[in-house]
Amino acid sequence: MDDLRQKYLDAIAGAGDEAALEDIRVAAVGKKGEVALAMRSLGKMTPEERKVEGPKLNALKDEINAALAAKKEALADAALDERLKTEWLDVTLPGRPRPAGTVHPVSQVTEEVTTIFADMGFSVAEGPQIETDWHNFDALNIPPHHPARQEFDTFYMHREEGDDRPPHVLRTHTSPVQIRAMLDQGAPIRVIAPGRVYRSDYDQTHTPMFHQVEGLAIDRDISMANLKWTLEEFCRAFFEVDEVELRFRASHFPFTEPSAEVDLRCSWEGGKLHVGEGDDWMEILGSGMVHPKVLEAAGVDANEWQGFAFGIGIDRLAMLKYGIPDLRAFFDSDLRWLKHYGFSALDMPTMRGGLSR
C-alpha cells in the first residue's frame, strides 16, 4: 500500500496540466481506479484484517484527493499568473479626462463674508440693481443736485418721453438695500447686503460694475465702538489671522454721522499682504453711524433707534486676500484666470472648517 501511495503522490507532483491530473485521478481514485479496486478486495478479508486495512485505504484515498486538489489549485494559479503576465497595460497613460469646474472669487468671497456675519447674527438682504432715484439717493440723505451725487458717477436708465419721474439708476452702492430692509423689517435689524453695483468709471483700478457688501445693525444702544469691534472681528476672521488692528479716520458720507474711513494695519513685505503687522495702513472700507434722516426715511424712529452701517468692496477683499492683481480681469472671463483664481465646487467656507483651504 505504501508503494501505491508513493506512486500516485509522485505522479500528482509531476503532473503538467489539468488533463494529466484528471488521468491520475481516474487511475487512482476513480470508480475503477487502483484504490477502488483495493477497496473491493476488502470484502474478501477477514473482519480483523478489514478493521486494519479499511481505515488505511480510506486515509490513502483522502490523502490522494487532497494532493489532487492542491495540485489543481497550484496549476490554476500558475495558469493565471501566466495570463496576467500577458495582460500588461501602460499605467503611465493619462486617466480619462474629467472636467473640473470652478467658482468665481467674487462668489467665493461673498460666501465667506456671509458666513462670518451669519455667525454674528446678520442675515442677508437683497435689493434690485435697477434702483429708484429715491432709494439710491434721497432716502440716503443725498438730495437732488447735492454735490455728493456727482461723486458717484451714476448710470441713469433711459426715460420715455412723457414719463416725468426722475430716471432710475443702476444702484451706485449697496446702501439702498439698507432702506429696503428697514422699510421691510423695521428695527431692530442686522443685515448684510452683498451684490453688484455700478459706476461710470473704467481705468486701471475701476470697472463700471463691481461688488459691495453693505452691513447694517440697528438697535437701541448700538454705538460706533460696536462698529469697530464688529469690523475687527470680521477682518480677523476674513483674513484668517489672530490679530488685526483697525484705525478709524473721520470722513464724510451723507448717510452716516459720524462717518469714518477704516484703515487696516498691514505690511507689503515681499510684495505680499500681511494683515495685522507692519507699518502700512490700507484703506479698506467706509462706515459710520446711520444718519437720523436715513432712519426716518426708512420709517425707523431715530429717537428710539440707532446703529451702524458699512460698505466693503468684495472684489477688493478678494484681491487682497488671494493676491489677485487686476480688477478688470475679474469680468473678462479668461479661462486661464477662472481656473487659476477660481475655487473648487466643494470649497465651501464654513466657520468650523475655516474659510479657505
Partner 1 sequence: MKFTLSWLKDHLDTTASVDEIAEALTDLGLEVEGIENPLATLEKFTLGKVKHAEQHPDADRLRVCIVETDEGDKQIVCGAPNAREGITVVIAKPGDYVPGIDVTLSVGKIRGVESHGMMASERELELSDEHTGIIELPSGEVGESFADWLAKNQPEKVDPVIEIAITPNRPDALGVRGIARDLAARGLGTLKPMKEAHVEGTFPCPINVTIDEDTREHGCEVFMGRLIRGVKNGPSPEWLQQRLKAIGLRPISALVDVTNFFTYDMNRPLHVFDADKIRGNLRVHRTKGGETLVGLDEKEYTFPEGAVVISDDEEIESIAGIMGGLRTGCTEETTNVFLEAAVWDPIQIAKTGRALKINSDARYRNERGIDPAFNAPGLELATQMILELCGGEPSEVVQAGAVPDTDRAYKLDTDRVQSLVGMDIPAEEQRRTLEALGFRLEGDMAHVPSWRPDVQGEADLVEEVARVASLTKLVGKPLARLHVGVPKPVLTPMQKRENMARRTVAALGYNEAVTYSFIDKASAELFGGGSDATMLENPISSEMSHMRPDLLPGLLQAAARNQARGFMDLALFEVGPAFDGGEPEDSQLQIGGLLVGATAPRDPYGSRRPVDIYDAKADAEAVLSAIGAPARQMIQRNAPAWWHPGRSGQISLGPKNVLATFGELHPKVLERMGVKGPAVAFTIWPERVPFPKAKGATRPALTASDLQPVERDFAFVVDADVEALTLVNAAQGADKKLIESVRVFDEFHGPKAEAQMGAGKKSLAITVRLQPSDKTLTDAEIEAVSQKIVDKVAKATSGVLRG
- The residues in 46-85 that bind partner 1, with binding defined as CB under 8 A, are none
Binding of partner 1 at residue 243 (CB under 8 A)? no
Taking contact as CB under 8 A, which single stretch among the options 33-41, 46-54, 67-75, 227-235 is the one that binds partner 1? 227-235
- The interface region with partner 1, picked from 33-41, 52-60, 67-75, 112-120 by CB under 8 A, is 112-120
CB 333 within 8 A of CB 102: no
Q: Which of 322, 354, 274 is nearest to 106 (CA)?
A: 322
Nearer to partner 1, 71 or 291 (CB): 291
Q: Does 159 bind partner 1 (CB under 8 A)?
A: yes
**Contact predicate 207/324, CB 8 Å:** no
Considering only residues 195-224, where is the footprint of partner 1 by CB under 8 A?
196, 198, 200-202, 208-209, 217, 221-224
Determine the size of the site formed for partner 1 (CB under 8 A): 98
In the chain, the amino acid numbered 229 is W
Binding flag, residue 242, partner 1 (CB under 8 A): no
User: Which is it for strands 189-198 and 209-219: parallel, antiparallel or unpaired?
Assistant: antiparallel
Q: Residue 132 interacts with partner 1 (CB under 8 A)?
A: yes
- Contact between 129 and partner 1 by CB under 8 A: the answer reads yes
Give the residue with the Cβ less far from partner 1, 40 or 340.
Answer: 340
Q: Please count the residues of the chain.
A: 357
E strand or H helix at 56, and its extent? helix 47-86
d(CA 226, CA 306): 12
Q: Are 338 and 250 in contact (CB under 8 A)?
A: no
Establish if 248 lies at the interface with partner 1 (CB under 8 A): yes
Residue 348 touching partner 1 (CB under 8 A):
yes
Binding of partner 1 by 190 (CB under 8 A) = yes
Nearer to partner 1, 33 or 254 (CB): 254
The x, y and z cell numbers of residue 157, run together, are 436708465
Note whether 91 binds partner 1 by CB under 8 A.
no
Site for partner 1 in 318-337 (CB under 8 A): 330-336
- Based on the shown chain and the rule CB under 8 A, indicate whether residue 94 belongs to the binding site for partner 1: yes
Half-sphere exposure of 184 (CA within 13 A, CB side): 12
- Single out the residue of 145, 143, 308 nearest to residue 219, CA to CA: 308
